[in-house]
A and B are shown apart, each in its own frame.
Chain A
Amino acid sequence: MSVFALVDGNNFYVSCERVFNPKLEGRPVVVLSNNDGCAVARSAEVKALGVKMGMPWFKMQDLARRHGIVALSSNYELYADLSSRMMSILGRYAPEQEIYSIDECFLGFDGFQRYDLMTYGHDMRQTVRQWVGIPVCVGFATTKTLAKLANHCAKKGLTGAEGVCDFTRLNEQEIQELFTRIPVGEVWGVGRKLAERLEERGIAHVDALRRSDAKVLRREFSVVLERTVAELNGVSCLGLDEIAPNKQQIMSSRSFGKYLHDLEPLEQAVASYMAIAAEKLRRQQSKAGLVQVYVRTNPFAEHLPQYQQGLSAPLPEPSDDTLRLIKVARWLLKKIYRPGYAYQKAGVVLMDLQETASLQRSLFAHNPDNERLMEVMDRVNAVWGRGTLRCATEGLQKEWSMKREKKSPNFTTRWDELPEAY
């Protein structure tokens, strides 16, 4: 019988910040999304104050002043570094690992026979905590959906033990008693809307969902829900996705720090996003055959005239050359740009991706990619940070760029931003 674990970092972004800033311990902390918009991570103290996920920063100003909430801009470089350390440690605990997101992974213990999983889980917790400084929770069960639920129980302390929960130790009666206490919305893949519809049918908690007729649910909802019910009953339908496949498309888009009206700053923004996308493209050793650019105004600013448009163009030959890709992107942008609008967001998408190694060069190609230049550019930017060496189209002053006024230093990825000790 196979056993899965789901391990995830508690309030991951906040925990990362706390590793290097111990003063944040015990204080209410939120991490804000791009442009310091809304809460994307909350410490337990902030949750207790009633700050919800996604709450805009301006709406908590009052609360922040009263309770001394510390708000930080997101520092993805730091989070990504600590995440890869955490994943690498966890990967040693099991023969198989699927990294599911920046802060959670599944582990597969196929054929692991009756090791004491609780001890094992506590050991994982302790090691990640000591080595990286991140608190994690561990849930064990016989399917991925159940492991996710066990993780929820571990986090909420529903089964007693701190931070670890093993469903495989519980008997049927204990499972039933536990599941009747968990609302159906906590199940992996059951979103808020679906949860409401299930509740209307009298399926309010997990035990009720588990006992529902899967065939009926399939007919009235979806095959996905049928599979979820099977998984809740211990029938493993989802295996581990071990190797993250190369991305089929690469997107880079951002909201601007303020509205843009003219073509020139828009061109700079689009060129910058393309530079980021092209760098990712080269990192996965692919070339793109199709480029898309889109722009839009702010759909929530209803008093302003609205416009959104996207356009794509195929390349005569797949490319990973930032300069060529930017050229195409600018051409596309000029086609879709209309004056008189307050643009809030732009983005580029690279599609029709092909592996560089397996590409055949076209007979009539006259303008091959400048591979040497791209290599130099990637090296320089790897050492001094993204954008050190860039295309002039990207602009010198990025007046449109994201606001990240409260960002912590890149403690682990920049020599000149290391933590200091006296």
Chain B
Amino acid sequence: MSLLSLFSALSRPANSPPLRLPLFAHPVRAGFPSPADDYVCDTLDLNEHLIPHREATFFVRAKGLSMIGAGIQDGDLLIIDRSLNPVHRAIVIAVIDGEFTVKRLYKRGGKIRLLAENPDFSPIDLQEGQELQVWGVVTSVIHRLRP
């Protein structure tokens, strides 16, 4: 463990309660304190923004390049909300042969397919009688720009 990561852990509170960042209602100015400082509006919580259903939300690590066209890159963090119904065109985590796969769901004209967003990958067609198990609906991708 690096010393740097040790320090970054110390700056985070134990049991990670929501991280609240104050949002000020006016631009920051140096010098004389603004009387508007009394009007701090609210705090922003990323959890609140990204996770409406806490109990149903899970994180999954994306692997490979099959969904590159949808902006999902190798190693990205996917936010999954299992409370949502998998509708046509939703990006989902599905179970194929006991493994998780992330694909776009196609449901039209009695046909169900899983589509990759990369021409190098062919669509997965469901055979007659084969049941598609959708594990959850992907709601966001978190792509880090620096490690």
Contact = CB atoms under 8 A, between A and B. Distances in A.
Interface of A: 21-23, 25, 85-86, 88-89, 127, 130-133, 375-376, 378-380, 382-384, 388, 411-412, 415, 418-422
Contact of B9 (A85, A88, A375, A379): A379
Interface in B96-126: 98-102
Contacts of A131: 53, 55-56, 82-83
Contact of B101 (A21, A376, A422): A422
A382 B15 contact: yes
B13 A379 contact: yes
Contacts of A22: 95, 98-100, 133, 135
Contacts of B64: 422
A421 B62 contact: yes
Contacts of B102: 421-422
22 contacts: A21-B98, A22-B98, A22-B100, A22-B135, A86-B55, A88-B54, A88-B55, A127-B83, A130-B82, A130-B83, A131-B55, A131-B56, A132-B82, A133-B82, A375-B14, A382-B16, A383-B12, A384-B9, A418-B59, A420-B61, A421-B93, A421-B100
Interface string B48-74: 000001111011111110100000000
Closest 7 CB pairs of A and B: A23-B98, A131-B56, A421-B100, A85-B55, A421-B102, A383-B9, A379-B14
B3 interface: no
B4 interface: no
B21 interface: no
B9 A422 contact: no
Interface of B: 1, 6, 9-10, 12-16, 53-56, 58-64, 66, 77-78, 82-83, 93, 95, 98-102, 133, 135
Main DSSP-derived SS at the A contact region? helix
Contacts of B13: 379
Contact of A418 (B1, B60, B95, B98): B60
Contacts of B9: 379-380, 383-384
B60 A421 contact: yes
Contacts of B61: 418-421
Nearest to A21: B98
A22 B93 CA distance: 12
A376 B78 CA distance: 30
Contact of A419 (B53, B82, B100): B100
A113 B13 CA distance: 44
Nearest to B133: A22
A133 B93 CA distance: 14
A130 B134 CA distance: 10
Contacts of B12: 379, 383
Contacts of B60: 418-421
Nearest to A376: B10
A88 B63 CA distance: 31
B85 to A, nearest CB: 9
Contacts of A376: 10
A380 B56 CA distance: 27
A420 B63 contact: yes
Contacts of B95: 22
B87 to A, nearest CB: 14
A263 B14 CA distance: 34
Contacts of A382: 14-16
A388 B6 CA distance: 11
Contact of B55 (A21, A132, A375, A379): A132
A201 B100 CA distance: 56
A422 B96 CA distance: 10
A2 B78 CA distance: 44
B25 to A, nearest CB: 32
B10 A379 contact: yes
B34 to A, nearest CB: 34
Given A131-B55, A132-B55, A412-B59, 20 more contacts: A21-B98, A85-B55, A88-B54, A131-B56, A131-B82, A131-B83, A376-B10, A379-B10, A379-B12, A380-B10, A382-B16, A388-B1, A418-B77, A419-B58, A419-B60, A420-B61, A420-B100, A421-B62, A421-B101, A422-B101
